Chains A and B, each alone.
Chain A
């Protein structure tokens, strides 16, 4: 860039600053506070912790007394890493199932006549008009023994044994897939709707069967939608607390539930904060890697 900065550019820069300011205020600052608590000792006081870091004068003392024992406990105690693993597994399964259901759904929506698309889109968003909590509670009524599902199966003569789904991992999965499906469908629909139909005609014209055309044209071109949808489902799913709490059993201790228990039942804020920090690292790392992979894929063609 050369030449004098034109007066229009100053407001433009301010506009760019707004999201960074927002991130700094509402993400970075709280995270620093959580990190500070995570590096503290638990104390029976109000607030129930004893801070090590009190001003820059005490920086040397702080570094000397910096306490990583909370992170050590998370590393040593199997409860925590097993919860992380369970959360990862449930979030991954949720993402895969949501993708398996959401892709055909989004594809059908994008292929529907234009006048239908708006209606179908509203139908996908419609559940958001009801409270998330109420919708999850409703699943208890469906899944519980002698609940709506059991009654329906019995009425159809398919099964007279109760399925005993409630308070199992399956129930959590059902609830998670149900809750997060729209987040998968919407970005997929957005990419599939933009897809140029003449590309599929070109593929057919060149001898590709409909399946081959899908695999070689539609699927690779909808990859950005798949990645966006998967991130939108996977990230909130991994820290989900309400669904495992309401639909899960005693052994579905996802990390969000552990976090809640440490904060409110055990009142161990430093440990809970350490759990949150580790969760963030587990989330931010794969996301950062994903972003880098996407940027690289975008540049891929440049290497001619």
Chain B
């Protein structure tokens, strides 16, 4: 069942920030009409393939994030949607209409630029009203819409300022208001938070999500910041070398990455090499030189005994203890090499398998205000984890 997002959803999300809205899943609904479709889109610059055979559908009201390291082609993909680049192969459809070669000024898509690209010679109000003026709207209507937009981004009363009289955060809001003023069906945001400091970034992320669900506009965000993508997006796509590696809701990407690249790019992960020993239904036993026998649950594992595999372990899923755990597998002994105190949590690096072994990261949530920590440098400790903790990656 498809529940429409709206003010209710925004309020709900405020109560539990970052929660994934299970009700909104048009990508699982075969009847849903996509807002944007990329069909086998390829773009080359000289000899370099920036975007390679990308097929992707975005749905109305969706908050979509394109995640990837710099140079992975995510910005090129977005710029093709805005009309600043033309694909060499493939098609782009908007609302079922092909727009592959339509020039940018004729596309009902607006973009918020990474540099904000505010017109320095125009006031804030004239910046926001620029697109409306191009539409030929009457002055009164433009003024009304500009005031509406200023209120939306909480910049009331600053309409007469020039961009250079604003703070970085205010400029970002003007850029957002300007891109939203024409009420586009799809808003493209190129690294929208890159120029903001961390505190402001977090606050703005939630505000952006509220604005998005209030307006019902589909957002496509390009970012290299996985926290940003995971916080805001309904779905995200991880790109690497011009290809889409995985598309899915943030929790699926984090907990079930399709390969080592995704697993390492999204969040921290420890990778342990091993070989499949036995498969019993969903339970996979892996022999690892480092940690002995590792057991993990994997739905319908497409593996055969003897095959080399990688076991992925997120740092927060490992338990640290001084005494040897009672369980027979999924444990390994090591020595603490480094302790990084981060306030909310502590990141412990444990050397496993002797001095030439492998460093494993373990994160501990700091539940107590006590400063004395139970673990110290050079302590010998045990690492253990649940059968649900590990994930199998093909090498």
Contact = CB atoms under 8 A, between A and B. Distances in A.
B115 A301 contact: no
A217 interface: yes
Contacts of B162: 301
B117 A207 contact: no
A202 B113 contact: yes
B164 A217 contact: no
Contacts of B135: 207
Nearest to A200: B117
A221 B115 contact: no
B50 interface: no
A123 interface: no
A208 B105 CA distance: 6
Contact of B105 (A198, A199, A209): A209
B111 interface: yes
Given A301-B123, A301-B162, A206 B117 contact: no
A23 interface: no
Given A212-B134, A301-B123, A206 B182 contact: yes
B373 interface: no
B43 interface: no
B168 interface: no
A304 B165 contact: yes
Contacts of A209: 105
Interface residues of A, number: 22
A196 interface: yes
Contacts of A212: 134
B117 A201 contact: yes
Contact of B130 (A198, A206, A210, A302): A206
A210 B111 CA distance: 17
A127 interface: no
* 7 cross-chain pairs, A with B, having the tightest CB-CB distances, nearest first: A206-B131, A301-B162, A207-B134, A202-B117, A198-B117, A204-B104, A204-B105
24 contacts: A196-B117, A198-B113, A199-B117, A199-B119, A201-B84, A201-B117, A202-B111, A202-B118, A202-B178, A203-B119, A204-B103, A205-B110, A206-B105, A206-B110, A206-B178, A207-B105, A208-B105, A208-B130, A212-B134, A213-B105, A301-B123, A301-B161, A301-B164, A304-B161
Interface of B: 82-84, 103-106, 109-111, 113, 115, 117-121, 123, 130-131, 134-135, 160-162, 164-165, 178-179, 182
